Amino acid sequence: RGVFNAGGGAAGGVSFLPSAGPWRRREALKDAEEEQPGAVGGGALRRLERPAAPLPLEPAPTAPPSSAENVVLPVLVLACDRSTVRRCLDKLLRYRPSPERFPVIVSQDCGHAETARVIASYGDAVAHIRQPELADVAVPAEHRKFQGYYKIARHYRWALGQVFRAFRYRAAIVVEDDLEVAPDFFEYFQAAFPLLLADRSLWCVSAWNDNGKEQLVDAGQAELLYRTDFFPGLGWLLLAELWDELEPKWPRAFWDDWMRQPEQRRGRSCVRPEVSRTVTFGRKGVSHGQFFDQYLKFIKLNDRFVPFTRLDLSYLKKEEYERSFPARVYAAPEVRLEELQGNRRRELGAVRVQYTGRDSFKAFAKALGLMDDLKSGVPRAGYRGIVSFVYRGRRVYLAPPSDWTGYDPSWS
Protein backbone atom coordinates (compact mmCIF):
# COMPACT_ATOMS: atom_id res chain seq x y z
CA ARG A 1 0.00 0.00 0.00
CA GLY A 2 1.41 3.34 -1.02
CA VAL A 3 2.31 6.26 1.19
CA PHE A 4 1.61 9.57 -0.52
CA ASN A 5 3.21 12.84 0.40
CA ALA A 6 2.23 16.42 -0.18
CA GLY A 7 4.91 16.81 -2.80
CA GLY A 8 3.50 14.04 -4.92
CA GLY A 9 6.05 11.37 -4.09
CA ALA A 10 5.10 7.87 -3.07
CA ALA A 11 6.58 4.89 -1.39
CA GLY A 12 5.10 1.47 -1.93
CA GLY A 13 4.95 0.73 -5.62
CA VAL A 14 3.16 3.66 -7.18
CA SER A 15 2.93 3.04 -10.89
CA PHE A 16 2.91 5.62 -13.66
CA LEU A 17 0.52 6.01 -16.53
CA PRO A 18 1.62 5.10 -20.01
CA SER A 19 1.42 7.68 -22.74
CA ALA A 20 -2.21 8.60 -23.39
CA GLY A 21 -3.61 11.26 -25.65
CA PRO A 22 -1.49 14.42 -25.29
CA TRP A 23 0.49 13.04 -22.35
CA ARG A 24 3.77 11.18 -22.03
CA ARG A 25 5.26 8.96 -19.37
CA ARG A 26 6.66 10.81 -16.38
CA GLU A 27 9.67 9.65 -14.40
CA ALA A 28 9.37 9.44 -10.63
CA LEU A 29 10.40 12.63 -8.88
CA LYS A 30 13.48 12.60 -6.68
CA ASP A 31 11.34 13.28 -3.63
CA ALA A 32 9.41 10.06 -4.13
CA GLU A 33 10.99 8.49 -1.06
CA GLU A 34 10.34 11.46 1.22
CA GLU A 35 7.36 10.65 3.37
CA GLN A 36 5.45 13.66 4.66
CA PRO A 37 2.51 13.75 7.06
CA GLY A 38 -1.02 14.35 5.94
CA ALA A 39 -1.49 12.07 2.95
CA VAL A 40 -1.44 8.40 3.83
CA GLY A 41 -3.30 5.56 2.20
CA GLY A 42 -3.43 2.77 -0.29
CA GLY A 43 -4.08 2.15 -3.92
CA ALA A 44 -1.92 2.39 -6.97
CA LEU A 45 -2.11 6.13 -7.53
CA ARG A 46 -0.73 7.14 -10.91
CA ARG A 47 0.63 10.46 -12.03
CA LEU A 48 0.36 12.34 -15.30
CA GLU A 49 2.61 15.06 -16.58
CA ARG A 50 0.77 18.13 -17.69
CA PRO A 51 1.88 19.23 -21.15
CA ALA A 52 4.51 21.95 -21.29
CA ALA A 53 2.76 23.74 -24.17
CA PRO A 54 -0.94 24.65 -24.26
CA LEU A 55 -3.16 22.13 -25.97
CA PRO A 56 -4.64 23.20 -29.32
CA LEU A 57 -8.20 24.47 -29.12
CA GLU A 58 -9.31 21.83 -31.62
CA PRO A 59 -8.21 18.18 -31.62
CA ALA A 60 -5.84 17.11 -34.35
CA PRO A 61 -7.83 16.03 -37.43
CA THR A 62 -5.84 12.80 -37.59
CA ALA A 63 -6.80 11.77 -34.07
CA PRO A 64 -8.59 8.39 -34.13
CA PRO A 65 -12.27 8.43 -33.13
CA SER A 66 -11.47 6.11 -30.23
CA SER A 67 -8.87 8.44 -28.69
CA ALA A 68 -11.30 9.41 -25.90
CA GLU A 69 -11.08 5.83 -24.69
CA ASN A 70 -7.47 6.46 -23.61
CA VAL A 71 -8.24 9.49 -21.45
CA VAL A 72 -7.22 9.17 -17.80
CA LEU A 73 -9.63 10.97 -15.49
CA PRO A 74 -9.14 10.50 -11.75
CA VAL A 75 -12.23 10.61 -9.56
CA LEU A 76 -11.65 12.67 -6.42
CA VAL A 77 -14.07 11.71 -3.64
CA LEU A 78 -14.35 14.27 -0.82
CA ALA A 79 -15.13 12.46 2.44
CA CYS A 80 -15.45 13.49 6.07
CA ASP A 81 -17.43 11.67 8.75
CA ARG A 82 -20.02 9.71 6.79
CA SER A 83 -19.33 5.99 6.87
CA THR A 84 -22.03 5.74 4.20
CA VAL A 85 -19.24 6.71 1.80
CA ARG A 86 -19.39 2.97 1.11
CA ARG A 87 -22.52 3.49 -0.98
CA CYS A 88 -20.72 6.10 -3.08
CA LEU A 89 -17.60 3.97 -3.53
CA ASP A 90 -19.49 0.76 -4.25
CA LYS A 91 -21.26 2.34 -7.22
CA LEU A 92 -18.12 4.07 -8.51
CA LEU A 93 -16.20 0.80 -8.48
CA ARG A 94 -19.12 -1.19 -9.87
CA TYR A 95 -19.53 1.06 -12.92
CA ARG A 96 -15.88 1.98 -13.44
CA PRO A 97 -14.82 0.53 -16.81
CA SER A 98 -11.09 0.68 -16.07
CA PRO A 99 -9.04 1.25 -12.89
CA GLU A 100 -6.20 2.57 -15.05
CA ARG A 101 -8.28 5.20 -16.81
CA PHE A 102 -10.37 6.16 -13.77
CA PRO A 103 -8.27 5.93 -10.59
CA VAL A 104 -10.34 6.72 -7.49
CA ILE A 105 -8.76 8.99 -4.88
CA VAL A 106 -10.62 9.40 -1.58
CA SER A 107 -9.60 12.53 0.31
CA GLN A 108 -10.72 12.38 3.93
CA ASP A 109 -11.14 15.35 6.24
CA CYS A 110 -12.37 15.29 9.86
CA GLY A 111 -10.25 12.35 11.11
CA HIS A 112 -13.36 10.18 11.63
CA ALA A 113 -12.12 6.70 12.53
CA GLU A 114 -15.12 4.68 11.35
CA THR A 115 -15.13 6.43 7.97
CA ALA A 116 -11.38 5.82 7.67
CA ARG A 117 -11.92 2.11 8.32
CA VAL A 118 -14.58 1.93 5.62
CA ILE A 119 -12.26 3.59 3.10
CA ALA A 120 -9.35 1.35 4.13
CA SER A 121 -11.51 -1.74 3.57
CA TYR A 122 -11.30 -1.13 -0.19
CA GLY A 123 -7.56 -1.82 -0.16
CA ASP A 124 -5.82 -1.06 -3.42
CA ALA A 125 -9.09 -0.37 -5.26
CA VAL A 126 -8.89 3.25 -4.10
CA ALA A 127 -6.21 5.64 -2.90
CA HIS A 128 -6.83 7.12 0.56
CA ILE A 129 -5.32 10.53 1.33
CA ARG A 130 -5.96 12.56 4.48
CA GLN A 131 -6.34 16.29 4.93
CA PRO A 132 -3.76 17.09 7.63
CA GLU A 133 -5.24 20.23 9.22
CA LEU A 134 -8.16 19.19 11.44
CA ALA A 135 -8.40 22.20 13.78
CA ASP A 136 -11.30 24.61 13.60
CA VAL A 137 -10.91 27.44 11.12
CA ALA A 138 -10.66 30.94 12.59
CA VAL A 139 -13.88 32.65 11.51
CA PRO A 140 -15.62 35.94 12.31
CA ALA A 141 -17.89 35.68 15.34
CA GLU A 142 -21.00 36.07 13.20
CA HIS A 143 -19.87 33.11 11.08
CA ARG A 144 -19.34 30.59 13.90
CA LYS A 145 -22.42 28.68 12.82
CA PHE A 146 -20.86 28.35 9.36
CA GLN A 147 -17.70 26.61 10.58
CA GLY A 148 -18.59 23.55 8.50
CA TYR A 149 -18.58 25.58 5.28
CA TYR A 150 -15.11 26.93 6.09
CA LYS A 151 -13.80 23.41 6.67
CA ILE A 152 -15.29 22.21 3.39
CA ALA A 153 -13.61 25.01 1.44
CA ARG A 154 -10.30 24.24 3.16
CA HIS A 155 -10.64 20.56 2.31
CA TYR A 156 -11.47 21.26 -1.34
CA ARG A 157 -8.43 23.48 -1.66
CA TRP A 158 -6.12 20.87 -0.17
CA ALA A 159 -7.59 17.92 -2.08
CA LEU A 160 -7.58 19.66 -5.46
CA GLY A 161 -4.03 20.76 -4.72
CA GLN A 162 -3.05 17.13 -4.22
CA VAL A 163 -4.66 16.04 -7.48
CA PHE A 164 -3.23 18.83 -9.63
CA ARG A 165 0.01 19.78 -7.85
CA ALA A 166 1.24 16.62 -6.15
CA PHE A 167 -0.09 13.99 -8.55
CA ARG A 168 -0.12 16.31 -11.57
CA TYR A 169 -3.27 15.06 -13.23
CA ARG A 170 -4.52 16.92 -16.28
CA ALA A 171 -8.18 16.92 -15.20
CA ALA A 172 -10.34 15.46 -12.44
CA ILE A 173 -13.93 14.45 -11.70
CA VAL A 174 -14.99 15.71 -8.26
CA VAL A 175 -17.69 13.98 -6.22
CA GLU A 176 -18.69 14.13 -2.59
CA ASP A 177 -19.17 11.18 -0.28
CA ASP A 178 -22.97 11.32 -0.38
CA LEU A 179 -23.36 10.96 -4.14
CA GLU A 180 -24.51 7.84 -5.97
CA VAL A 181 -23.56 7.65 -9.64
CA ALA A 182 -25.45 6.36 -12.69
CA PRO A 183 -24.33 3.39 -14.82
CA ASP A 184 -23.07 5.71 -17.58
CA PHE A 185 -21.38 8.22 -15.26
CA PHE A 186 -17.90 7.41 -16.57
CA GLU A 187 -19.05 7.18 -20.18
CA TYR A 188 -20.55 10.66 -19.90
CA PHE A 189 -17.39 12.30 -18.59
CA GLN A 190 -15.14 10.41 -20.98
CA ALA A 191 -17.17 11.70 -23.93
CA ALA A 192 -17.45 15.27 -22.65
CA PHE A 193 -13.77 15.67 -21.76
CA PRO A 194 -12.61 16.42 -25.36
CA LEU A 195 -15.37 19.03 -25.60
CA LEU A 196 -14.09 20.73 -22.44
CA LEU A 197 -10.59 20.75 -23.91
CA ALA A 198 -11.69 22.12 -27.26
CA ASP A 199 -14.19 24.82 -26.24
CA ARG A 200 -12.69 27.47 -23.98
CA SER A 201 -16.14 28.96 -23.37
CA LEU A 202 -16.78 25.89 -21.18
CA TRP A 203 -15.27 25.59 -17.72
CA CYS A 204 -16.87 22.43 -16.36
CA VAL A 205 -18.94 19.37 -17.14
CA SER A 206 -21.48 18.42 -14.47
CA ALA A 207 -23.46 15.25 -13.87
CA TRP A 208 -26.26 17.22 -12.21
CA ASN A 209 -29.50 18.81 -13.38
CA ASP A 210 -30.69 21.26 -10.73
CA ASN A 211 -34.24 20.82 -12.04
CA GLY A 212 -33.86 17.08 -12.37
CA LYS A 213 -36.93 15.94 -10.45
CA GLU A 214 -38.56 12.97 -12.15
CA GLN A 215 -41.65 14.87 -13.31
CA LEU A 216 -39.51 17.70 -14.77
CA VAL A 217 -37.29 15.62 -17.09
CA ASP A 218 -37.75 13.43 -20.14
CA ALA A 219 -36.24 10.11 -19.08
CA GLY A 220 -36.69 8.88 -22.64
CA GLN A 221 -34.17 11.49 -23.80
CA ALA A 222 -31.40 10.52 -21.43
CA GLU A 223 -28.85 11.29 -24.15
CA LEU A 224 -29.84 14.98 -24.22
CA LEU A 225 -27.22 17.43 -22.93
CA TYR A 226 -27.29 21.20 -22.46
CA ARG A 227 -25.04 24.14 -21.85
CA THR A 228 -25.79 26.01 -18.62
CA ASP A 229 -24.51 29.29 -17.19
CA PHE A 230 -25.20 28.02 -13.66
CA PHE A 231 -22.39 26.08 -11.96
CA PRO A 232 -24.12 22.87 -10.82
CA GLY A 233 -21.35 20.96 -8.98
CA LEU A 234 -22.49 17.60 -7.59
CA GLY A 235 -20.21 15.46 -9.72
CA TRP A 236 -18.19 17.72 -12.01
CA LEU A 237 -15.15 17.67 -14.26
CA LEU A 238 -12.55 20.43 -14.34
CA LEU A 239 -9.20 20.91 -16.06
CA ALA A 240 -5.94 21.59 -14.26
CA GLU A 241 -5.81 24.97 -15.99
CA LEU A 242 -8.97 26.00 -14.17
CA TRP A 243 -7.38 25.10 -10.84
CA ASP A 244 -4.36 27.20 -11.82
CA GLU A 245 -6.79 30.10 -12.16
CA LEU A 246 -8.90 29.49 -9.06
CA GLU A 247 -6.39 28.30 -6.47
CA PRO A 248 -4.71 31.68 -5.78
CA LYS A 249 -8.06 33.27 -4.92
CA TRP A 250 -9.89 30.23 -3.48
CA PRO A 251 -12.45 31.42 -0.89
CA ARG A 252 -12.42 30.59 2.81
CA ALA A 253 -16.05 29.41 2.72
CA PHE A 254 -19.09 28.91 0.48
CA TRP A 255 -16.91 27.86 -2.44
CA ASP A 256 -19.78 26.80 -4.72
CA ASP A 257 -21.63 30.11 -4.56
CA TRP A 258 -18.28 31.85 -5.03
CA MET A 259 -17.86 29.86 -8.25
CA ARG A 260 -21.19 31.28 -9.43
CA GLN A 261 -20.06 34.89 -9.14
CA PRO A 262 -19.35 36.73 -12.43
CA GLU A 263 -15.73 37.32 -11.39
CA GLN A 264 -15.09 33.56 -11.41
CA ARG A 265 -17.49 32.41 -14.13
CA ARG A 266 -16.29 35.05 -16.60
CA GLY A 267 -19.09 34.30 -19.05
CA ARG A 268 -18.27 30.59 -19.25
CA SER A 269 -20.73 27.72 -19.20
CA CYS A 270 -20.89 24.11 -18.05
CA VAL A 271 -22.37 21.06 -19.75
CA ARG A 272 -25.22 19.40 -17.86
CA PRO A 273 -27.55 16.48 -18.64
CA GLU A 274 -31.30 16.28 -19.07
CA VAL A 275 -31.30 13.39 -16.57
CA SER A 276 -28.85 13.55 -13.68
CA ARG A 277 -25.95 11.12 -13.52
CA THR A 278 -25.65 11.63 -9.76
CA VAL A 279 -28.09 11.79 -6.87
CA THR A 280 -27.37 12.68 -3.28
CA PHE A 281 -28.40 10.33 -0.50
CA GLY A 282 -26.87 12.46 2.27
CA ARG A 283 -29.54 14.01 4.45
CA LYS A 284 -26.84 14.60 7.06
CA GLY A 285 -24.52 17.53 6.29
CA VAL A 286 -23.85 21.21 6.74
CA SER A 287 -27.01 22.11 4.79
CA HIS A 288 -29.08 19.85 7.11
CA GLY A 289 -32.14 17.96 6.01
CA GLN A 290 -34.80 20.45 4.93
CA PHE A 291 -33.44 21.04 1.44
CA PHE A 292 -32.94 17.29 1.00
CA ASP A 293 -36.48 16.44 2.08
CA GLN A 294 -38.09 19.16 -0.02
CA TYR A 295 -36.09 18.70 -3.16
CA LEU A 296 -32.94 16.60 -3.46
CA LYS A 297 -34.51 13.24 -2.70
CA PHE A 298 -36.80 13.62 -5.73
CA ILE A 299 -34.01 13.94 -8.31
CA LYS A 300 -34.22 11.26 -11.02
CA LEU A 301 -31.02 9.21 -11.44
CA ASN A 302 -30.49 8.00 -14.98
CA ASP A 303 -30.82 4.21 -15.20
CA ARG A 304 -30.31 3.69 -18.95
CA PHE A 305 -26.76 3.44 -20.29
CA VAL A 306 -26.15 6.00 -23.04
CA PRO A 307 -23.08 5.33 -25.25
CA PHE A 308 -21.98 8.97 -25.21
CA THR A 309 -18.55 8.24 -26.69
CA ARG A 310 -20.30 7.08 -29.87
CA LEU A 311 -22.52 10.17 -30.11
CA ASP A 312 -21.79 13.45 -31.85
CA LEU A 313 -21.65 16.10 -29.13
CA SER A 314 -20.55 18.93 -31.42
CA TYR A 315 -23.98 20.55 -30.98
CA LEU A 316 -22.74 21.67 -27.55
CA LYS A 317 -19.90 23.79 -28.93
CA LYS A 318 -20.65 27.45 -28.36
CA GLU A 319 -21.05 28.56 -31.98
CA GLU A 320 -23.38 25.71 -32.89
CA TYR A 321 -25.37 25.96 -29.65
CA GLU A 322 -25.82 29.71 -30.06
CA ARG A 323 -27.24 29.09 -33.52
CA SER A 324 -29.60 26.29 -32.61
CA PHE A 325 -30.78 26.51 -29.00
CA PRO A 326 -32.16 30.08 -28.79
CA ALA A 327 -33.74 29.66 -32.24
CA ARG A 328 -35.56 26.54 -31.06
CA VAL A 329 -36.70 28.25 -27.85
CA TYR A 330 -38.04 31.39 -29.49
CA ALA A 331 -39.69 29.43 -32.30
CA ALA A 332 -41.81 27.68 -29.65
CA PRO A 333 -45.22 29.35 -29.28
CA GLU A 334 -45.71 31.43 -26.15
CA VAL A 335 -48.43 30.34 -23.73
CA ARG A 336 -49.72 31.79 -20.49
CA LEU A 337 -48.98 30.08 -17.21
CA GLU A 338 -52.68 29.35 -16.71
CA GLU A 339 -52.87 27.59 -20.09
CA LEU A 340 -49.91 25.43 -19.19
CA GLN A 341 -51.26 24.58 -15.76
CA GLY A 342 -54.66 23.82 -17.28
CA ASN A 343 -53.05 21.41 -19.74
CA ARG A 344 -54.52 23.39 -22.64
CA ARG A 345 -53.18 23.88 -26.19
CA ARG A 346 -51.35 20.55 -26.13
CA GLU A 347 -51.41 20.46 -29.92
CA LEU A 348 -48.65 23.09 -29.89
CA GLY A 349 -45.98 20.66 -28.69
CA ALA A 350 -43.01 22.45 -27.10
CA VAL A 351 -44.02 25.83 -25.69
CA ARG A 352 -42.49 28.88 -24.07
CA VAL A 353 -43.49 30.80 -20.95
CA GLN A 354 -41.99 34.28 -20.91
CA TYR A 355 -40.88 36.12 -17.78
CA THR A 356 -40.00 39.81 -17.76
CA GLY A 357 -38.16 40.34 -14.49
CA ARG A 358 -36.90 38.74 -11.32
CA ASP A 359 -40.27 38.61 -9.61
CA SER A 360 -42.08 37.04 -12.56
CA PHE A 361 -39.30 34.48 -12.97
CA LYS A 362 -39.54 33.45 -9.34
CA ALA A 363 -43.33 33.30 -9.43
CA PHE A 364 -43.42 31.18 -12.59
CA ALA A 365 -40.62 28.90 -11.39
CA LYS A 366 -42.34 28.27 -8.09
CA ALA A 367 -45.69 27.63 -9.77
CA LEU A 368 -44.10 25.10 -12.15
CA GLY A 369 -42.08 23.23 -9.54
CA LEU A 370 -38.68 24.58 -10.60
CA MET A 371 -35.91 25.84 -8.35
CA ASP A 372 -36.69 29.54 -8.06
CA ASP A 373 -33.46 30.87 -6.59
CA LEU A 374 -30.95 32.92 -8.57
CA LYS A 375 -27.21 33.24 -8.02
CA SER A 376 -25.72 36.47 -9.39
CA GLY A 377 -28.84 36.66 -11.54
CA VAL A 378 -28.43 33.19 -13.08
CA PRO A 379 -31.29 30.68 -12.70
CA ARG A 380 -30.45 27.09 -11.89
CA ALA A 381 -29.85 25.05 -15.08
CA GLY A 382 -30.35 28.24 -17.12
CA TYR A 383 -28.62 29.28 -20.33
CA ARG A 384 -29.06 32.85 -21.57
CA GLY A 385 -31.75 33.06 -18.91
CA ILE A 386 -33.64 30.10 -20.43
CA VAL A 387 -34.62 27.09 -18.32
CA SER A 388 -35.65 23.95 -20.23
CA PHE A 389 -37.84 21.39 -18.46
CA VAL A 390 -40.84 19.08 -18.85
CA TYR A 391 -44.29 19.92 -17.49
CA ARG A 392 -47.07 17.37 -17.69
CA GLY A 393 -45.19 15.50 -20.35
CA ARG A 394 -44.45 18.43 -22.66
CA ARG A 395 -41.26 20.41 -23.28
CA VAL A 396 -41.41 23.91 -21.81
CA TYR A 397 -38.94 26.79 -21.95
CA LEU A 398 -39.15 29.39 -19.20
CA ALA A 399 -37.45 32.24 -21.02
CA PRO A 400 -36.80 35.99 -20.94
CA PRO A 401 -37.70 38.16 -23.95
CA SER A 402 -35.73 37.36 -27.10
CA ASP A 403 -33.79 40.63 -26.84
CA TRP A 404 -32.17 39.46 -23.58
CA THR A 405 -28.71 41.01 -23.24
CA GLY A 406 -27.27 39.51 -20.07
CA TYR A 407 -27.74 38.65 -16.39
CA ASP A 408 -28.44 41.23 -13.71
CA PRO A 409 -26.28 40.23 -10.70
CA SER A 410 -28.66 42.09 -8.39
CA TRP A 411 -31.32 39.43 -9.02
CA SER A 412 -31.17 37.07 -6.07
Active-site annotation, residues: 256
Dihedral over alpha carbons 158, 164, 165, 166 (to 10 degrees): 80
What is the Cα–Cα distance from 286 to 204, expressed in whole angstroms?
24
Run of H or E residues at 271: strand 269-273
Distance of alpha carbon 174 from the chain centroid: 6
For CA atoms 34, 39, 45, 49, give the dihedral sign.
negative
How many Å apart are CA 262 and CA 389, to the nearest integer?
Answer: 25
**Helix/strand/coil for 202:** strand
Distance CA 329, CA 351 (A): 8
Report residue 91: phi and psi, to 5°. -70, -40
E strands, 42-153, where? Answer: 75-79, 104-108, 127-130
**Residue 132 falls in which region: left (phi positive, over 0), alpha (psi -120 to 50) or beta:** alpha
